[in-house]
A = this chain, B = another copy of it.
Amino acid sequence: MCHLLTMADLTNADINEILLEAQMFKDGSTWSSPKKMYAANLFFEPSTRTKCSFEMAERKLGLEVIPFETSTSSLQKGETLYDTVKTLESIGVNLAVIRHNQDHYYKELVPKINIPIINGGDGCGQHPTQSLLDLFTIKQEFGGFSGLNITIIGDISHSRVARSNMEALTKLGANVVFSGPPEWFDHTFSLGNYVPINQAIEQADVVMLLRIQHERHQGQSTYTAKQYHEQYGLTVERESRMKNGSIIMHPAPINRNVEIADELVESKKSRIFKQMANGVYIRMAVIKRALENSVRGCLHELHY
Q: Which residues of A contact B (CB under 8 A)?
A: 36, 38, 40, 43, 46-49, 51-53, 55-56, 59-60, 64-80, 83-84, 86-88, 90-93, 112, 211, 214-215, 252-256, 266, 273-274, 276-277, 279-280
The 3 closest A-B pairs by CB, nearest first: A79-B253, A90-B276, A46-B76
Q: List 11 A-B contacts (CB under 8 A).
A: A46-B72, A46-B74, A47-B72, A48-B79, A48-B88, A49-B74, A52-B68, A52-B93, A56-B66, A70-B72, A92-B277
Question: Which chain B residue lies CB-closest to A254?
Answer: B83
Q: Which residues of B contact A70 (CB under 8 A)?
A: 72
User: In whole angstroms, what is the CA distance A70 to B51 when docked?
Assistant: 12
Most chain B CB neighbours (cut-off 10 Å) among A43, A53, A87, A276 = A87
Min CB distance A64 to B, Å, is 5
Question: Which chain B residue lies CB-closest to A275?
Answer: B90
Min CB distance A238 to B, Å, is 21
User: In whole angstroms, what is the CA distance A94 to B39 when docked?
Assistant: 22
B66 touching A46, Cβ below 8 Å: no
B252 touching A87, Cβ below 8 Å: yes
Q: Which residues of B contact A53 (CB under 8 A)?
A: 91
Most chain B CB neighbours (cut-off 10 Å) among A67, A71, A90 = A90
Min CB distance A280 to B, Å, is 5
Contacts A46-B73, A74-B253 aside, 17 further interface pairs with beta carbons under 8 A come to A38-B59, A47-B73, A48-B73, A49-B91, A52-B66, A53-B91, A56-B91, A77-B215, A78-B214, A78-B253, A78-B255, A83-B256, A86-B273, A87-B273, A90-B274, A90-B277, A91-B276
Q: Which residues of B contact A59 (CB under 8 A)?
A: 38, 64, 66
Q: Which residues of B contact A67 (CB under 8 A)?
A: 55, 65, 67
Known contacts A40-B52, A55-B66, A67-B55: A91-B46 contact under CB 8 Å: no
A43 touching B72, Cβ below 8 Å: yes
B52 touching A88, Cβ below 8 Å: yes
Most chain B CB neighbours (cut-off 10 Å) among A47, A48, A64, A75 = A48
